[in-house]
Amino acid sequence: MVNIDEVYQKVLALANKEQRGYITPQEFNLYANQAQMDIFNQYFFDLNQFKRLPVVDDNYGDTADLINDKLSIFKTGPEQFTSTNNPTLPDDCYKVTSVNMHHNGIHAGEAQKVNYEDFHRIHQGPLTKGKIDRPVYYIADNEIHIVPQHSSLICFFRYIRIPSKVNWSYIVVNEKALFNSTQASHFELHDSEQKNLVVKILQLAGVGIKDYNIVQAAGQEEVKKIQQEKS
């Protein structure tokens, strides 16, 4: 977890270093939530990139493990349902990671995910259609659809949820906003992401106050970080 007040104070200090403009709590909360989602989304792009790279040494594996560790807090489940029902995905679902089946109390294996566009073609083939010992599923209309459907099939799905929204809460004293820790919602990202959050929020804030020096400086810090990760 990253303390939201620490991030806000650093952002204010850097943005106001040369009297470039004040970032209100409302603006900060908007930028903060966008920055958190940007970093969260980037985890999946980075994982795909490292999977495509040839394994030369353990550095790539360590990086992928580190990203998976950062994602571990967002891994949720299992959620139970029956194959005859099509469960609606939770509002905070970002990505379904697995669907497992139990038949008469015995684990029947993990269902294979197929694209909705490919499902009908697969289902028409006697050798490829879903069976109890080889189930398949697809996602459509924000629901999980399991094949085959059978009352004796109990299903469990796991998913990665999106981060909860952050909020720098405050009370006004002598016309000044003071941090209210009891009502605040902190970043759920790993502690190591504090610097990245500051950089991304400054980028967004720089655009908002039309100070592209802030955007450029923050962008240089981000490029430096990427180069360090890839080296």
CB atoms within 10 A of CB 165: 12
Round the average pLDDT of the chain to a whole number and report it: 84
The single-letter DSSP state of residue 126 is: T
pLDDT tens for each residue of 185-217: 999 999 999 999 999 999 888 754 455 555 555
pLDDT tens for each residue of 158-185: 999 999 999 999 999 998 999 999 999 9
Helices of type H across the chain: 4-15, 25-52, 58-71, 116-124, 194-208, 212-230
Instruction: Please report, for the chain, the start and end positions of each structural domain, with discontinuous segments joined by +.
Output: 4-71+164-230, 76-161
pLDDT tens for each residue of 118-145: 877 776 666 666 677 788 899 999 999 9
Residue 63 structure tokens: 């990086």
Return the amino acid letter for 134.
R
Contacts of 98 (CB under 8 A, 6+ apart): 110, 157, 158
pLDDT tens for each residue of 47-90: 888 777 665 555 555 788 889 999 999 999 999 998 888 999 99
The single-letter DSSP state of residue 106 is: E
